[in-house]
Structure 1
């Protein structure tokens, strides 16, 4: 580079500020294999057990059933990277699961029900046919892969990374907006939180402020509809651009009709820790105000005591509008609720969480005492005086011992 030349460079400290750290391929592969490998093995065992209990099947029917069940087991897995960056871990996860399907003894030699595009090979091998692998990558990416990132550009880069690995000459790019989303994966609210007014002090709320504020029947109804529509998105094939447009329209409807109202309430609840102070009475009034402005939904208990102008002052506070809170149950309702809008309870959540391990001290690095205050109210271990940085270091020491040379340079 010569003096006077024009060139691009990264601002000093930008990588640290955005959490943009590159993870070497061998670490990504190791983490993905050791995380997803046991899940694939467990899926195979479940299939064997179910098929062995079936009577009256000839060998061909047994193979067919095994193939169908194994595909269902794998495509039912939900794999998350909560700080996905450009999608390095997610690309490897998609490849790993697709390879498991493409090299499975039964899916290779059997026409899988409902997937007429799957090539049928004459014999099972340990090497994946490229056409098979590409087909299964597309299926896995649309069904199994989830990611979140605070940087909106990272979300688009992750989509691009997955598109490049799943592009097919005769197919449009997969619709990924409902699985790869923008937001701060550490800061958000849960349904149980919204039942109570936000209490930012360390003291427990008064009994009068612990009365449920949420009409759960309205939430259940909205989530029921949201889950049904998301399942429609996942069930529909992506064979042409019209399919993609249909999925886009369905996803927009999910957000506008069923989850936006609850997201606004959740944003409001979290914002109390970031400068948008409100009394329990004001929170109750704001909940009623939001309900009144979403026609077709049940009202919250009580009537809003705030004028529209007063309510909008709270709802448009910078603590609400300038932050990227992420509410998991609203972002991915199909992962936490069944098709009837009921909580999945112990079955809720993701089957695997992968990603770049955390390296920073939460309190020191955040530079925001509000974040620390929020964590102390949400996570009892931090409130009790646990040092997150020390816990992280202890975990990494255990990883080094278990992993040997794989992580010797960390």
Structure 2
């Protein structure tokens, strides 16, 4: 990453850290992880020749193109500057990535026939169109040339085990990817989800808690040279140089530092579950599911068919260890039932191949997941694909199955009775939980969706230190909340009913549209006992269909009309945003009439598009134009750019939602909740980490004394004020962290959201 950043900076002759040429360290980290995932995939397919993904039987491929031929060079000494700084490794990998993505057919080569006649084996390689090898996913790295010594080190680290203690154990052994389990790799790659990269804008020195050993891959704490005097010698990190002298560990200006962020790890609850626990939990969960859904069926043929319809979800998926284990066990169960139903046995030499095909079918159609870390979604795609690799080179598409979002924060299919918003006492909506209204069930007359109504926990910031820093804003928010949560008038209730009726129409339309989209983007795939059904579509078609039909009128989308999904999502996001509203924007909180007017323009009325007269516009998806026309005829045009210009609070709500990652389950999986009432099985082992506000944890990233020392409350307050004075730009970030923590606590403790947790 450091090499990529420096090379980009030299080439563009711009600052890496600020201004027009600034690199986003998060995006750079993500692209580097994608690069590593590509290598991981290649290690796997070359170690599994029976899958026929890589033509390792061809000497031409093996000696001239493969990753294996670079592994043979992993320990070769690079003695000269020309060897160290050359680009052989880089060009070889670049060519290999291109081969995998674009494929290669001998008929394209004018000399292919001559090669066959002379005994040279001209190999074939089918294109593997996937997000993983799509060059547009690594635009920054595409402009970088990594030197030989750097990529040799990367391949060496991924090829060889670490050195042991002494004797024979000290020697490094080769990692055999054919024998390495996906869950074992998940333990390593899931840990990367908690790492964070940033550029050193000045020389930085590492410090640590007194008495603790320094861990080069552990949580890092960094200070500038002028701050070193604030730390004892035992708190500074020293390393020995080549001469054996102790020297302070210093990261020079311009370095790209990629280290474990303890606060991020705790916030994301990124923890790995041991494989033995994963296997056991899945086994007994499936055992209960089989008893409930398979045992009552008349025969094994019906039971096998039911297995292929089961849906499994992991709501905090990480590296999808539980989903992969469920796929493995479900595949065995299916094949056992198919053999029993047909009265035939699968030959032992064919069983592994048949199982991989069933696993691929299940991965492509039956498993779902959510994670708050966007990198986890990409890791999950790779992990599911690797676990289900089959010899037919099928490429699964997970666009509608794996989602980025916070599983705990979102709106639901729940309603209040018409009279409740007008009550002032025990019957008030503020004191009772809403009633569930499943998708597909008719909305009773007078029911009002819970996410149209305010809550007493919205923007409720009570921490003493925050109130002291923002006294005027907190008083303003409290006054707003009193007014916003007062009983509704009959006129307002009538407006709420009208909005609720339109929401039903939009939700029903979205559920039907999502089901149709899922059908069109699911490729046919034949397995034992079931023939292929449907038509195959390209990766480009699937991505375009999802972007234009589902996510239509995202800010980066050229469509002018927001889809039913985007309209509903923004309405729900607006409600969620009020729980996390920025303290600094207290004056922008909506009054009751403003709130209703914003929602009416979003859900009921047309908005003026932002295009110029005579300028061509696109109002519906190219992948399904007729459905787009019918939608526009019924629901009109809602253009987000025009909407945000007219109603800035909606733009604020959209921005808050993107930062907080609100996730609305019955909207994201509307067709599944409509047709099945939800998922058949929810799997996972989420760590039980209590959400608590710790003022020092966030500040510890900038002033390590908050974390590496045990300070009293007065000492913390004094150091906080000193830090704010020294780094004025830090206060807004600290406040935003507080808003996230306090907003999450209020949301989880609210009667409307989690009545089961009341008093816990």
CA distance in 2, matches of 1:172, 1:126: 23
User: Shift of the alpha carbon at 1:125?
Assistant: 8.6
Which residue matches 2:755?
380
User: Shift of the alpha carbon at 1:192?
Assistant: 3.5
Which residue matches 1:284?
596
8 Å CA contact retained: 2:339, 2:345: no
2:195 aligned with 1:195? no
Unaligned 5+ segments in structure 2 are 1-215, 217-238, 242-248, 252-256, 416-447, 458-481, 527-531, 553-562, 583-588, 608-618, 620-630, 637-641, 695-736
CA distance in 1, matches of 2:455, 2:359: 45
CA distance in 2, matches of 1:18, 1:199: 28
Which residue matches 1:246?
541
2:271 aligned with 1:271? no
User: Shift of the alpha carbon at 1:243?
Assistant: 4.1
8 Å CA contact retained: 1:32, 1:89: yes
2:265 to 15, 38, 42: 15
Q: Deviations over 1:90-118 (max 9, x none)?
A: 111111111111222x34674xxxxxxxx
CA distance in 1, matches of 2:542, 2:296: 32
Q: Give the TM-score, by structure 1 length.
A: 0.73
8 Å CA contact retained: 1:142, 1:176: yes
CA distance in 1, matches of 2:581, 2:648: 15
Which residue matches 1:90?
323
For the structure 1 residues 8 and 270, does the alpha-carbon distance in structure 2 shift closer, same or farther, using more than 3 Å as the test?
A: closer
Q: Give the TM-score, by structure 2 length.
A: 0.41
8 Å CA contact retained: 2:644, 2:651: no
8 Å CA contact retained: 2:313, 2:369: yes
**Higher gyration radius (CA):** 2
For the structure 1 residues 311 and 299, does the alpha-carbon distance in structure 2 shift closer, same or farther, using more than 3 Å as the test?
A: farther
For the structure 1 residues 8 and 282, does the alpha-carbon distance in structure 2 shift closer, same or farther, using more than 3 Å as the test?
A: closer
User: Shift of the alpha carbon at 1:184?
Assistant: 0.4
8 Å CA contact retained: 1:190, 1:328: yes
Three-state SS of the structure 1 residue aligned to 2:368 is strand
Q: Residues 347-386 of structure 1: matches in 2 within 5 Å?
A: 347-363=676-692, 368-377=741-750, 378-382=753-757, 384=758, 386=759
Deviates more, 1:247-256 or 1:145-154: 247-256
For the structure 1 residues 13 and 308, does the alpha-carbon distance in structure 2 shift closer, same or farther, using more than 3 Å as the test?
A: closer
Size of the alignment, in residue pairs?
344
8 Å CA contact retained: 1:44, 1:70: yes
Q: Deviations over 1:260-296 (max 9, x none)?
A: 1211111111111111732332222112222324972
Which residue matches 2:309?
76
Three-state SS of the structure 1 residue aligned to 2:521 is helix
1:185 to 407, 422, 441: 407
8 Å CA contact retained: 2:313, 2:368: yes
For the structure 1 residues 12 and 273, does the alpha-carbon distance in structure 2 shift closer, same or farther, using more than 3 Å as the test?
A: closer
User: Shift of the alpha carbon at 1:370?
Assistant: 1.2
For the structure 1 residues 381 and 102, does the alpha-carbon distance in structure 2 shift closer, same or farther, using more than 3 Å as the test?
A: closer
Q: Deviations over 1:218-237 (max 9, x none)?
A: 33223222222223434744
8 Å CA contact retained: 1:102, 1:128: no
8 Å CA contact retained: 2:304, 2:334: yes
Deviates more, 1:193-202 or 1:13-22: 193-202
- Which structure is higher in RCO with an 8 Å CA cutoff and minimum separation 6? 1
For the structure 1 residues 221 and 125, does the alpha-carbon distance in structure 2 shift closer, same or farther, using more than 3 Å as the test?
A: same
User: Shift of the alpha carbon at 1:191?
Assistant: 3.9
Which residue matches 1:391?
none
